[in-house]
Amino acid sequence: MKEFTYVIKDEIGIHARPAGKIASTAKKFEADINIHFKGKEVKITKIMALMKLNVKQNDTIKITFDGSDEEDAYQALSKLIEENL
């Protein structure tokens, strides 16, 4: 299992556009990918669940990757998140 921790820099936080990009990218992989925030855990492919976490600027999220292609998923999503959030 791999994990990625990130502090959100975007002024709006995780909103519709980045949530859509994150979910669509995650759907390309077989790995089980979850986001953890304030004691909650949701599948990162669920756009509405991702947005309902209400992640704002300066909040810290953790994303976990578990599966056969977890390394590829980790590389793709960590880069996407760093570039968009």
Domain boundaries, the chain: 2-84
Q: Rounded to a whole number, what is the distance in angstroms from the first to the last CA of the chain? A: 23
Question: What confidence category does residue 22 fall into, taking pLDDT thresholds of 50, 70 and 90?
Answer: very high
Segment 45-69 shows an average pLDDT of 96
Q: Is 15 a catalytic residue?
A: yes
The reported pTM is 0.91
Question: What confidence category does residue 84 fall into, taking pLDDT thresholds of 50, 70 and 90?
Answer: confident
Specify the pLDDT at position 58. 97
Q: What length does the chain have?
A: 85
Selected from 3.30.1340.10, 3.30.750.24, 3.40.1710.10, 1.10.287.130, the CATH number assigned to the domain covering 2-84 reads 3.30.1340.10
Segment 8-29 shows an average pLDDT of 94
Catalytic, out of 6, 10, 15, 84: 15
Distance of alpha carbon 77 from alpha carbon 20, whole angstroms? 12
CB of 4 closer than 8 Å to CB of 74: yes
Tokens read off for 50: 């991702």
